[in-house]
Amino acid sequence: MVTIKSLIIAYGLALLPVLLSSSPIVPRYFHRILYSRDNITATTVKNELGRQLSNGSLILGPDNALYPNATERWKTRITPNTRVGVQPAAESDLAQIVKYCNDNSFDFLVKNRGHGTTDSLSTFSGIEINVEMLKGVTVHPAEKTATLQAGPIIGDVVNKLWDQGFVATTGSAACVGMMGAALGGGHGRYEGLYGLIQDNIVHYNVVLGIGTEIGKTYTWTQDKLETVFEALNTFHKSANGTTPPRMGVNYGSIVMNTSISTTEAVLVWPLNTLALVPTRKSSWDHLTPSRL
Ligand SMILES: Cc1cc2nc3c(=O)[nH]c(=O)nc-3n(C[C@H](O)[C@H](O)[C@H](O)COP(=O)(O)OP(=O)(O)OC[C@H]3O[C@@H](n4cnc5c(N)ncnc54)[C@H](O)[C@@H]3O)c2cc1C
The per-residue pLDDT for 3 is: 55
| Mean pLDDT, each 10-residue run in order, the chain (292 residues) | 51 48 55 63 94 97 97 95 97 94 90 94 96 97 95 96 93 93 88 86 85 72 51 51 60 78 78 59 48 36
Does ligand 1 have an atom closer than 6 angstroms to the CB of 114? yes
Do 264 and 270 form a contact (C-beta atoms < 8 A)? Answer: no
Ligand 1 atom closest to the CA of 183, numbered from 1: 34
Instruction: Give yes or no for residue 137 CB within 6 A of ligand 1.
Output: no
* Structural domains of the chain, with CATH: 42-130 (3.30.43.10), 137-217 (3.30.465.10), 250-291 (no CATH)
For 125, phi and psi rounded to 5 degrees?
A: -145, 120
Instruction: Please enumerate in sequence order all residues whose Cβ is within 8 A of that of 192, keeping only pairs 6 or more positions apart, or say none.
Output: 243, 244, 245, 246, 247, 248, 277
pTM: 0.75
- C-alpha 203 to ligand 1 mean position (Å): 19
DSSP string covering 130-178, please? E-TT---EEEETTTTEEEE-S--BHHHHHHHHHHTT------S-TTSBH
Among 111, 131, 147, 176, the mutation site with the greatest number of ligand 1 atoms within 8 A of its Cβ is 176
Assess whether the C-beta atom of 180 lies below 6 angstroms from ligand 1.
yes
